[in-house]
A and B are shown apart, each in its own frame.
Chain A
Amino acid sequence: MANWLKKIFEPNYVKPKGIILYGSVQAVIQTHKMLEDKGFLVRLVAPPPEFRIGCDLAVEFDLIEQEAVENTIKVQPVAQNYNIVSAKEMLPDILKRSTFTEIDGYVMCKAGNMKITIEKKGHKIVNISGGGCPDIPYVAEKLYGRRIEEAEDPIKLGNSLCSYMLQISFDALKNKVKG
């Protein structure tokens, strides 16, 4: 097989990857978004098993770009207390799929184990279901009764993977409402 063809079909993880680790899910999401906006090829992944504490998220990048990534982080308003390690394995990607269900004048959006339901007409958040991390009852309490267009992002209220998953269903539902 020609070299250029091999490259196309080569799995991504064959290229050396670096992993940016923070102590909080919020910091990871902020840095991931910033690097993506700056044009880096980055991906949200589970950290390598030896670095997992529980409820972890990390940013994966091409190790060849480490210097550029670190220089960019240094000058941007994102958390600076990170560590970088190299990854020797394919790490689990995050789930991106969300589904909608309409029930008697309400719309429910589900991503993984997290569900958010709004009134179809007024867009008021009436229920949040699922999850197992300690911030979810708190986040749910803060979102309950708010119109989805005006409600704060779940990940700004919480700091867990369940909150991030709720953010995925929240964003999908918000986009659906916008049309």
Chain B
Amino acid sequence: MLVLIGTVPNKSGLHIGSASAVGGNLKIGDTEFPVERGTAAMAASAAMICEFYGLQKPLCIFGADSGDGVGTNMMFHEVFENLDKYDPDVVTLHYMFPKVGYGGPFIAKVDSLKKRPQLIADAGGMYLMKTTKLADKFDVFTPDQGELYFLADEMAPHPLYVREEIANKNLTVASLAGLAYNNKNTAKTTVIKGAIDYIYRDGAKVNEVTGPNIPAMEAIGGTGDTITGMLSALRFKGDPDADLKALTINRLIGERIGCTPATQISEFIKAIPEAVEEYEKKSR
């Protein structure tokens, strides 16, 4: 099963269930979640991919949290208690309050499972695992280039604290990735999102995606979330090119819908099936 864990704003309590994303709208049971950004955008993208390939729907564990940490706490409590019951193949951590106390128990719970799932982290989940020195227990991190500086700086407990000597040096992606790997501050695979997307595995660059080149995509909130969601679902499918495919499909969507810096991510999510179709046709 694909298990997606993250916080959502403007709700209350804990929301657990299989997610569907008909027409790009995310639903768990009878509850709808706006997909304009964050965890809901990531989960809707994953659900669209699962639906396209006829895979089992992703299981979502969402904590309602607009910044006080209460929803994050409920969410982790559920994970510590019941993650084994969901029989996860892939677990993705997304937006959350990166409280350092959650890192160790999360890994202990994963280690206790009979079958070790693939672990993916983005956003607060990635901040948490880097800060608690557990990054190398993960299979994939999906930072943007700003977050890559954070992974490269072994002293920074959050992207806000990247030291000036690193932030102002204009270091190359290769040297930043090198620092992150040398200090064990990133996952086995690091998918770096930017004007050029890079895929690093165990410290070595294994691929990059340069086109179609659409500068407006950097401004659109959620274009990283769609990559994380699609990549999670494609890895769940067992696709050997999951990372490359997610990055390419995201760019194909941007081109297909003619996005501008004012485009909202819901438009991207709706266009996922057509872009996947286009990708599959081209690669046949």
Contacts and interface: CB of A to CB of B under 8 A. Distances in A.
Counting chain B CB atoms within 10 Å of each CB, the highest count among A57, A138, A163 belongs to: A138
A112 B162 contact: yes
Contact of A97 (B39, B69, B164, B223): B164
A95 B219 contact: no
A52 B157 contact: yes
A19 interface: no
A40 interface: no
Contact of A104 (B99, B125, B127, B261): B261
B267 to A, nearest CB: 12
Interface stretch (B82-90, B108-116, B141-149): B141-149
Contact of A132 (B127, B161, B262): B127
B92 interface: no
Interface in A93-132: 93-95, 97, 101, 103-104, 106, 108, 110, 112-115, 117, 119, 126-132
Given A92-B157, A135-B9, A137-B37, A104 B216 contact: yes
Contacts of B99: 53-55
B124 A134 contact: yes
Interface size class of A (residues with CB under 8 A): 35 or more
Interface in B167-200: 167-168
A134 to B, nearest CB: 4
Interface string A132-160: 11111110110010000000000000111
Given A55-B158, A113-B150, 12 more contacts: A95-B162, A97-B167, A104-B261, A106-B262, A108-B219, A112-B162, A130-B147, A133-B97, A134-B124, A141-B10, A141-B37, A165-B159
Interface of A: 46, 49, 52-57, 92-95, 97, 101, 103-104, 106, 108, 110, 112-115, 117, 119, 126-138, 140-141, 144, 158-165
B159 A159 contact: no
B257 interface: no
Interface residues of B, number: 65
A135 B67 contact: yes
Interface of B: 7-10, 34, 36-40, 65-69, 71-72, 94-102, 122-128, 131, 144, 146-147, 149-150, 155-164, 167-168, 215-216, 218-224, 260-264
B95 A112 contact: no
A158 B67 contact: yes
Contacts of A49: 157
A138 B10 contact: yes
Nearest to A96: B164
Nearest to B67: A135
Given A126-B261, A133-B98, A137-B38, A95 B164 contact: yes
A129 B223 contact: yes
A127 B221 contact: yes
Contacts of A95: 159-162, 164, 167
B67 A159 contact: yes
Contacts of A93: 161, 163-164
B37 A140 contact: yes
Given A92-B157, A137-B95, A117 B219 contact: yes
